[in-house]
Amino acid sequence: MSGPRLPLPLPALAIALALGLALGLGPALAPAAAGDAAAAARAAAAALAAAGERLAAAAGAGDRIAALTATIRAYEEGLAALREGLRPVALREAELDRGLAARRTEIARLVGALAAIERMPAPALVLHPDGPLATARLGMLIAEVTPALQAEAEGLAAELGELATLRGVQEGALATLEEGLAAVADARSGLARAVAERRDPPLRAAESPAELAAMAAGAATLAAFADLLADRRLDPGGAAPDFPSLRGTLPLPVRGTLLRRAGKADAAGIRRPGLVLATAPRALVTAPAAATIRYLGPLLDYGNVMILEPGTGYLMVLAGLGEVYGAVGEVVQAGSPVGLMGGREVGAGEFLVGDGDASAGGRGETLYLELRLGAEPVDPGPWFEATR
């Protein structure tokens, strides 16, 4: 099966936008932020181009899975770079709108004065009915007022021109964003198909689906279910990685923001031994390390749960996914896709308004990440490079 068609407008827009910001698209835009956005956009563009070439050369389901995983990650990074690049544009536009609205009366007077001067015949500008002295005073007054009026008019024209440019940037972004969002949705569908079509993934002996279903149904809590799995150790056939040596170097399983560390109380006062990560809807979830899938599927009120065994005695629990990939007993490599977050992918207009994570108008998703050694939870924070 051929991979999905992947239009590549997103990197071009991201680079153009970031360069536009870096070149000074509006005096209120921070050069450092623009530089960061440009760097992120270029990196995403390069990653997406490389993933596209890899996808075109993919010979089987395994190659397509790896290429599509890289493609989705690149789109996620590119979309995030776009949002960061457009944020100062939106803020500057709002600032200009507020300033113009606050000066509405002043601007009306300025326009009226300029229009009145323009309508006056030339002699009337220099003659006064009270005689030469009054005419001289009038000339002095006009000489003082006219430059100020001219400067104010030029400043207003510059602000209106900047506002029109900023709005043009956003309008251009909307159309291209729609294409980019459609492309990443296509890549996600292609990834699900490739996983389903994969033949003979590496497996270890594990519980049967019926056994796992019975255990899940009888477990009162997530911790209790994890304890049951920990008690049923797998045959360590196939050398497991030296997982403890990876402490402090693991990547997070999803692109997101840390909401709560282990042991921190949530709004209801509940403390959990794992991390809570805010993510965008439909974000890709990958295995932080090589591991064996011990369980995947719905569990209690956690949504879909993925439980991985990255090393002898260790279990990594990922809860709150919308979709899960793979099979019980399957050995997955670090960076392999294990699922997608739930939620609805926002449209381009909503995308530009929100943050895309938990702060995106309440549209974000949350992933719960717990690490256990035997029957005891372990603080996952020190294990991940981004949270240690």
Domain residues of the chain, as ranges? 1-199, 209-383
Residue 227: how many CB atoms within 10 A of its CB?
A: 17
SS3 185: helix
- For residues 369 and 165, give the distance between their C-alpha atoms in angstroms, rounded to a whole number: 44
Nearest Cα neighbor of 69 from 284, 216, 365 is 284
- Alpha carbons 382 and 388: distance in angstroms, whole number: 4
Partnered with residue 318 across adjacent β-strands are 306, 369
Please, which residues have CB within 8 angstroms of residue 258's CB and are 6 or more apart in sequence? 275, 276, 277, 278, 386, 387
By residue count, the chain amounts to 388
- 209-383 domain in CATH 2.70.70.10? yes
Residue 44 and residue 77 in contact, taking contact as beta carbons nearer than 8 Å: yes
Dmax (CA) of the chain: 111
Residue 337 makes CB contacts below 8 A (sequence gap 6+) with: 65, 68, 69, 72, 191, 195, 284, 285, 286, 325
Burial 257-295 (b: 16+ CB within 10 A, else e): bebbebeeeeeeeeebbbbbbbbbbbbbbbbbbbbbbbb
What is the residue-wise DSSP string for 302-352? S-EEEEEEEETTEEEEEEEEEEE-S-TTBEE-TT-EEEEE-S----HHHHH
Its pTM stands at 0.74
Over the stretch 153-192, which tens digit does the pLDDT of each residue have?
A: 667 677 777 777 767 766 666 666 777 777 888 888 888 8
pLDDT tens digits, 259-287: 999 999 988 888 999 999 999 999 999 99
Select from 342, 344, 282, 290 the least CA-distant residue to 314: 290
pLDDT at res. 218? 84
Contact 380, 370 (CB under 8 A): yes
Walk along the chain (388 residues) and give the pLDDT tens digit of each residue.
444 544 444 445 444 444 444 434 444 445 555 556 667 667 777 777 777 777 777 777 788 888 889 888 888 887 777 777 777 777 777 777 777 777 667 666 656 655 665 555 554 445 445 545 555 554 555 555 556 656 666 676 777 777 777 677 666 666 667 777 778 888 888 888 888 887 767 677 677 778 888 888 888 889 888 888 887 776 554 445 689 999 999 999 999 999 999 999 988 888 999 999 999 999 999 999 999 999 999 998 889 999 999 988 899 999 999 999 998 888 899 999 999 999 887 766 666 555 444 434 345 899 999 999 988 999 999 999 999 8
What is each CA distance from 48 to 20, 74, 80, in whole angstroms? 21, 5, 14
3-state secondary structure of 156: helix
C-beta of residue 180 within 8 angstroms of C-beta of residue 352? no
